[in-house]
């Protein structure tokens, strides 16, 4: 299998372009609507509406139900929490907890020798869990995993103090800046690490 085929599979595993759009656009719409109207409800409604439109678009394209629900439900919960507390910055609170959960999972998985990158990409690249018997390949997955640990905990380290300050505009801007760009950079870094070692080909049955 070519490097280009593997690259497409790796990037697809992270949601692809549409996945990035689903995760970032509702947050941008929330921030813009909130700044224009200065009303929390307007930002909440706008973000949920755009998330619903994106979900419907995925349904029309006959995308997997997982992608349809994950984007919409996540935005809906963020909107519900912010509306319930009355604090606009709480729209971003679930994302902080999500980063904590993902960062902890990647960290623990690396420590115990079952890097999530291997668990996620091994089956996609056709090597399943054979990488565990090949130290170089396993090390590559672990190195890639540390990139994601740095991404998730880096977001928390920067954004949580801003969340505590209540500066919604700064929090929303930083959230977007550390969303699309860093995600793409980390996914690219993951591919650059993994492609340096060939995937493990399962033995051919005779």
Position 1 scores a pLDDT of 45
Domain contains 25: yes
Domain contains 205: no
Count structural domains, the chain: 1
Name the nearest CA neighbour of 134 among 106, 115, 157.
Answer: 115
Domain contains 200: no
| Four-residue CA torsion sign, 158, 45, 184, 124 | positive
Q: Are 38 and 20 in contact, with CB atoms under 8 Å apart?
A: no
Domain contains 14: yes
Residue range(s) defining the domain that contains residue 167: 3-194
pLDDT, tens only, 128-172: 889 998 999 999 999 999 999 999 999 999 999 999 999 999 999
176-206 b/e (C-beta count within 10 Å ≥ 16 → b)? eebbeeebeebbebbbebbeeeebbeeeeee
Return d(Cα 67, Cα 22) in angstroms, integer: 9
Domain contains 206: no
Backbone dihedral region for residue 2 (phi beyond 0: left; psi -120 to 50: alpha; all else: beta): beta
Question: 10-residue block means of pLDDT along the chain (206 residues)?
Answer: 58 58 77 89 90 81 65 85 93 94 96 93 86 92 96 97 94 89 88 85 58
Position 18 scores a pLDDT of 58
Domain contains 202: no
Return d(Cα 41, Cα 30) in angstroms, integer: 10
């Amino acid at each position: 299998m070519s490097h280009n085929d593997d690259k497409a599979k790796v990037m697809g595993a992270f949601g692809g372009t549409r996945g990035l759009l689903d995760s970032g656009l509702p947050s941008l719409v929330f921030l813009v609507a909130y700044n224009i109207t200065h009303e929390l409800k307007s930002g909440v409604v706008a973000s949920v509406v755009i998330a619903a439109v994106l979900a419907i678009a995925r349904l029309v394209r006959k995308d997997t139900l997982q992608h349809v629900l994950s984007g919409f439900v996540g935005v809906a919960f963020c909107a519900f929490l912010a509306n319930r507390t009355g604090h606009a910055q709480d729209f971003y609170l679930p994302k902080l907890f999500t980063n904590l959960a993902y960062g902890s999972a990647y960290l623990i998985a690396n420590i115990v020798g079952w890097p999530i990158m291997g668990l996620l990409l091994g089956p996609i690249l056709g090597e399943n869990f054979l990488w565990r018997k090949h130290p170089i390949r396993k090390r590559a997955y672990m190195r890639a995993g540390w990139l994601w640990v740095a991404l998730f905990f880096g977001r928390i380290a920067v954004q949580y103090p801003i969340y505590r300050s209540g500066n919604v505009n700064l929090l929303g801007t930083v959230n977007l800046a550390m969303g699309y760009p860093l995600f793409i950079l980390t996914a690219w870094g993951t591919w650059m690490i993994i492609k340096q070692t060939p995937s493990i080909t399962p033995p051919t049955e005779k």
